[in-house]
């Protein structure tokens, strides 16, 4: 592998000095890849308008093709943060307007490209904000392959498209998880539920390894639903809204099954977390996957 700085006119940060990551990686066969620390791009998915594509200028690498807003990762920067930063710089994508769903990584050993698939939660209009873009457009999913695509994106699009309907959700039995650790939860059930909520919110931010969910690709950011009962119903939601709280009006087990059934009816891939045998049987009979409390504890 060889690291080569960009020549005049080649991609670089639009403001300030060049970042150490703004350099070409040259593989053993001479192929050039942009980004010393790898690169990331954003596949923003809008349920009504399709996916956001960038029409690249002719002078750029694989110019005059359509691909994703993205670019070189900074040193120490996560793939998710890089995709969100680059898409904000190149297309004016508001960070708060999208919710990460999964990260797919193309890894050739000397270089990686990470695609962050994110759902648009607040509609926005993209803005051309650097010289690398000729045009930005929302393209219906069925029309993407009719465009002249960047070769890397063209190769990955069939796989990414097949994942668009997959929406994993964790439904967590709060009472069963909290009761698995003797930390005084019986004296303050709402406080114990709040600690679990915060740990789940951190998990929602960093994502879950695909293998743990038995899903393809690399990292997923599942929706997380925490079902609470009894005194724990006093717990409030987290500040970021990463964890949805469901307060059981009656028995917690009934509420968990009802929530799981409702999510599956919406087409969600539901993974419930409980070590209660009777509840596990009810959930499995309804078609949900079930993981033990220890499985979740390992993730947290």
Residue 279 CA to residue 254 CA, distance in Å, equals: 9
* Strands 133-139 and 50-56, sheet pairing: antiparallel
The confidence score (pLDDT) of residue 99 equals 95
From CA 21, how far away is CA 39, in angstroms rounded? 9
Is the confidence at residue 18, as pLDDT, over 90?
Answer: no
Mark whether 235 and 131 lie in a shared domain.
Answer: no
How many CA atoms are closer than 13 Å to the CA of 229, on its beta-carbon side?
A: 17
11 and 128 in one domain? Answer: yes
CATH number at residue 219: 3.40.50
pLDDT digits (tens, 9 = 90+) for 71-115: 999 999 999 999 999 999 999 999 999 999 999 999 988 999 999
Q: Note whether 140 and 225 are same-domain residues.
A: no
Q: Could you tell me if 109 and 20 lie in one domain? A: yes
Output the domain CATH number for residue 86.
3.90.79.10
| Pair (64, 193) in one structural domain | no
Instruction: For residue range 210-258, list pLDDT tens digits in order.
Output: 999 999 988 999 999 999 999 999 999 888 889 999 999 999 999 999 9
Same domain for 187 and 143, yes or no, is: no
Domain stops at, among 111, 130, 163: 163
Q: Flag the least confident range among 30-39, 168-177, 220-229, 257-266.
A: 30-39
Q: Which of these three, 141, 163, 185, is where a domain ends? A: 163
pTM for the complete prediction?
Answer: 0.87
Task: Choose the final residue of a domain: 144, 163, 182.
Answer: 163
Does one domain contain both 224 and 149? no
* Structural domain span for residue 265: 168-299
What integer pLDDT is reported at residue 11 of this predicted model?
A: 54
pLDDT exceeds cutoff 80 at 67? yes
Same domain, 159 and 39: yes
What is the per-residue pLDDT for 125?
96
In which band, very low, low, confident or very high, does the pLDDT at 32 lie, cut at 50, 70 and 90? Answer: confident
Q: How far out from the chain centre does Cα 58 lie?
A: 31
Structural domain count of the chain: 2
If pLDDT is split at 50, 70 and 90, which confidence band does 200 have?
Answer: very high
């Amino acid at each position: 592998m060889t690291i080569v700085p960009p020549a005049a006119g080649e991609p670089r940060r639009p403001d300030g000095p060049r970042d150490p990551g703004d350099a070409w990686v040259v593989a053993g066969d001479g192929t050039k890849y942009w980004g010393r620390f790898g690169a990331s791009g954003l596949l923003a998915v809008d349920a009504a308008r399709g996916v956001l594509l960038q029409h690249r200028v002719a002078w750029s690498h694989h110019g005059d093709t359509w691909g994703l807003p993205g670019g070189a990762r900074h040193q120490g920067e996560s793939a998710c943060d890089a995709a969100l930063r680059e898409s904000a710089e190149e297309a004016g994508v508001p960070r708060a307007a999208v919710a990460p769903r999964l990260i797919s990584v193309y890894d050739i050993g000397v270089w990686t490209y990470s695609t962050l698939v994110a759902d648009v939660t607040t509609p926005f209009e993209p803005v051309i904000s650097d010289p690398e873009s000729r045009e930005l457009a929302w393209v219906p999913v069925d029309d993407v392959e009719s465009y002249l695509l960047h070769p890397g994106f063209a190769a990955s699009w069939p796989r990414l498209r097949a994942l668009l309907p997959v929406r994993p959700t964790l439904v967590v039995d709060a009472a069963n998880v909290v009761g698995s650790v003797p930390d005084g939860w019986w004296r303050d059930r709402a406080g114990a539920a709040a600690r679990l909520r915060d740990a789940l919110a951190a998990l929602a931010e960093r994502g879950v390894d695909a293998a743990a969910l038995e899903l393809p690709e690399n990292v997923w950011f599942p929706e997380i639903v925490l079902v609470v009962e009894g005194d724990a119903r006093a717990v409030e939601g987290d500040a970021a809204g990463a964890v949805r709280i469901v307060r059981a009006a009656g028995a917690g087990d009934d509420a968990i099954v009802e929530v799981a059934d409702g999510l599956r009816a919406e087409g969600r891939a539901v993974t419930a977390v409980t070590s209660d045998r009777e509840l596990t049987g009810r959930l499995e009979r309804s078609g949900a996957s079930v993981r033990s409390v220890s499985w979740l504890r390992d993730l947290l």
